[in-house]
Amino acid sequence: MSEFAELVLIDAKERMDKAISHSREEFASIRSGRAAPQLVEKLTVEAYGVDVRMVEVASVAVPEARQLIVTPHDPANLEACERAIRTSDLGLQPSNDGRSLRLNFPPLTEERRKELVRIVKKMAEDGRIAIRNIRREARRDLEAAEKDNQLSADELTRAEKDLDKITQTSEGTVDEVLSSKEEELLEV
């Protein structure tokens, strides 16, 4: 296989891996009734007159399965952290003890679990679409290289088969992550 085709495939694989990582991050932002630090770490907090991520101004601990404790590094940021949590779409009301915020996660209702599964399936489909778009771009690059006589027809066919294998593997990974998240959401 030509060096150009290998470079296109390597680039496509790296970009597909990034799409998978993005899907995983999206899935982590969906709460499953369990406490997970990822739920609050990316929230934006207004501290010192600028917007920063929660993880930059506070530490997050998980003392038990359905509870998070957010402790600001600087006590002056406690109210800003509390405001960020209250205004987020998490639907949680933090209890403030003067030094830290305690977040209790109520168990999810069956209806809410099914709704979250639908949301996660949509996120997974978005991930698959991103992977297919990457495949389409790589295929375009390979076909253009063939027209410019950088690749032979056989090399193009071989590269396209390899690209399809990479795509199927990447989509399979998204499906695996989806099924584990679905199990987590439907677990009572």
**Percent of the chain scored above 90 by pLDDT?**
46
Assign 149 to helix, strand or coil. coil
Which residues does 51 contact at the CB level (< 8 Å), separation at least 6?
Answer: 44, 45
What are the structural domains of the chain? 3-28+109-186 (1.10.132.20), 38-104 (3.30.1360.40)
Which residues does 147 contact at the CB level (< 8 Å), separation at least 6?
Answer: none
pLDDT in tens, 86-108: 888 777 788 999 899 998 877 77
pLDDT for 16 equals 96
Beta bridge partners of 53: 44
Closest by CA to 142, choosing from 20, 21, 2, is 2
pLDDT for 110 equals 85
Whether pLDDT at 33 is above 80: no
Own/partner long-range contacts of 89-98 (Cβ < 8 Å, ≥24 apart): 90/31, 90/39, 90/40, 94/70
pLDDT for 166 equals 96
pLDDT in tens, 137-165: 999 999 999 999 888 989 999 999 999 99
Instruction: Look at 66-75, 101-110, 168-177 and tell me which has the smallest mean pLDDT.
Output: 101-110
- Report yes or no: 101 and 82 within 8 Å, Cβ to Cβ: yes
Instruction: Kindly state the average pLDDT of the residues 112-130.
Output: 91
Instruction: Kindly state the average pLDDT of the residues 65-78.
Output: 89
* Alpha carbons within 13 A on the beta-carbon side of 30: 26
